[in-house]
Structure 1
Amino acid sequence: MKVMLRRASSGTLLVYVAKKDLEEEVISESETSDGRVFSLANGWKLMAPGLSEPLQLPQTIEMKRLT
């Protein structure tokens, strides 16, 4: 699914999923062999394969929902 990553004015990382009209705060990030996993405040886990470091924000990327 396509999501947009951006920083809030408070400095926290936010994920916006347009098809679900959902904007949630990223509460934790972890690195796996398949890509970076973002845990959202609503309990979702999204994986972004091949995400470059440092993050160029805002940006729209393809992510996969794990839970």
Structure 2
Amino acid sequence: MKNSKSHLNEAFAQLQDAQLSLKHALDNVEKQNNKRALQSTLSAVDEAVFTAANTVANYQDVNY
């Protein structure tokens, strides 16, 4: 069974994957309205990656 730190690390990795996929999508987008939508989405994911990175870095394990 996964603990909360494992779930956090998994979510962080998925956010990083989404961030990379969006960057690749931006490299290949053709229509300007699609580009704006992708940039907006990427911006939100960038913020989520930043926040998740801080959470991972500051996560305190249980001391038994």
Please state which band the TM-score falls in when normalised by the shorter chain: under 0.3
- Compute the TM-score of the two structures, normalised by the length of structure 2: 0.19
Structure with bigger helix share is 2
Q: TM-score, normalised by structure 1?
A: 0.18
Larger Rg: 2
